[in-house]
Amino acid sequence: MEGQSQGGGPLRGVRILDMATVLAAPFSATLCGDMGAEVVKLELPAGGDPLRGLTPVHEGHPLFWKTANRGKKGISLDVRKPEGRALFLRLVASFDVLVENFRTGTLDGWGLDTGTLHAANPRLIVLRLTGFGQTGPYARRPGFARIFEAMSGFTHLTGEPGGPPQHMNYPLGDVVAGLFGAFAISTALAERNASPPQQYRGAEIDLSATEAMARLLDPLAAEHRIGGVVRGRTGSRATYTAPSNVFRAADGVWFTLVGTGGPIFARICRAIGREDLLSDDRFCDNAARLRHLEALDRILADWCAARTFDELAALLDREDVPYSKVFSIADLQADPHMRERGAFIDLPDEEFGGVPAPAPVPRFVGRGPAPPPATGPRTGQHNREVYGALGLGEVQLAALREAGVV
């Protein structure tokens, strides 16, 4: 299908078999597909991936599925059946990477342990993305994005002081784990490509989504163990640099303003007409400003509340102060900078003609944009193409369909 698995980027020539479900591990494969890898999405013959039912679903069409699995070819296979397992081992021999996210031990129970996989393909890279990793007392626990966020300490930081911890209205834990998965695949490929072919014996990557979220919180363990501080909820206010908060303009527009470092704080003072604050001992450096956050934020909040967003934006721009309106997705898609950059693309789609989605990130300078990948495939959409490459004809495929294998 035109637009599917383009393979023109820096990961061109890499083949990834994605047998994972929902979002985290499939997102790893999708990111690699954005960079040119050929990705084949494997589902059970009856489909049933929960992502097909997650909002947004428009008139029965799963938009989340279409965007999250863009650029992939779709095949169906029940690896739990003996015929399916045998076909899977033939299939995996032609891939560089296998991506899975079943509970620890599940593939082993189906006779697809790492030893068996590497016997079929000695150079295979296997990404195992689970909630808590392949070892430890929680290894077999189920996990979803909010579980990873909560256990990692991330949710403990989110919310108003004295209020309940809060999750954002998006599965952040899944996509963060997916980013680490794509990074892990890329590093494993770099190691494989740097090794003599006869010496490389494949790789098994144990990626815990909870640990991926915790990895983002670099200084918090040191802050606790050495400083005795457990960082908590402060709303939108930062407690590591000041000023840094969300403010509201007179016309109701919310925006974020950041004043990290003395030079930027000086520019803020000039923008708001309060250069006297530069000689105020309460605000002489970052440590002092943090001790007097309430007073500093009140000065800024009062200044913002007396002006429309356009008025204060002009003053902040004049002094080159870092700030941004809090954008909705509608604002982001309409923004002239994002439009000029082509930050959103239309994915070719059979039902809608085109489905908007973020463009691949990052960009490699000097290379023209690749054709946009198509939306996520139907279950088994590319069975004939993929299995045909293994030598299976129509009669064999029909028999496998009848037996519920594909």
The set of catalytic residues is 174
Whether the CB-CB separation of 298 and 274 falls below 8 Å is answered with no
Tokens 């670099």 belong to which residue? 218
Structure tokens at 25: 């591990």
Provide the sign of the torsion angle of the four alpha carbons 222, 137, 156, 170, taken in this order. positive
Instruction: Write the DSSP assignment of 209-266 as a string of letters.
Output: HHHHHHHT-TTHHHHHHTT-------TT--SSSSSEEEEE-TTS-EEEEE--SHHHHH
Provide the phi-psi class of 59: left if phi over 0, else alpha when psi is between -120 and 50, else beta. left
Whether the CB-CB separation of 39 and 185 falls below 8 Å is answered with no
Task: For residue 362, say if its preceding peptide bond is cis, omega within 30 degrees of 0.
Answer: yes
**Inter-CA distances, 128 with 25, 138, 240, Å:** 8, 15, 35
Q: How far apart are the first and last CA of the chain?
A: 20
DSSP 8-state class, residue 170: S
Q: In whole angstroms, what is the distance from residue 204 CA to residue 65 CA?
A: 27
Q: In whole angstroms, what is the distance from residue 27 CA to residue 22 CA?
A: 9
Q: In whole angstroms, what is the distance from residue 173 CA to residue 101 CA?
A: 14
Of 143, 152, 151, 150, residue with least CA distance to 166: 150
Q: What residues have CB less than 8 Å from 8, skipping those under 6 apart?
A: 36, 370
Neighbours of 82 (CB within 10 A): 10
Q: Rounded to the nearest 10 degrees, what angle do helices 172-194 and 24-34 cross at?
A: 50
244-248 and 38-43 as β-strands: parallel, antiparallel, unpaired?
Answer: unpaired
Q: Count how many residues are written for the chain.
A: 406
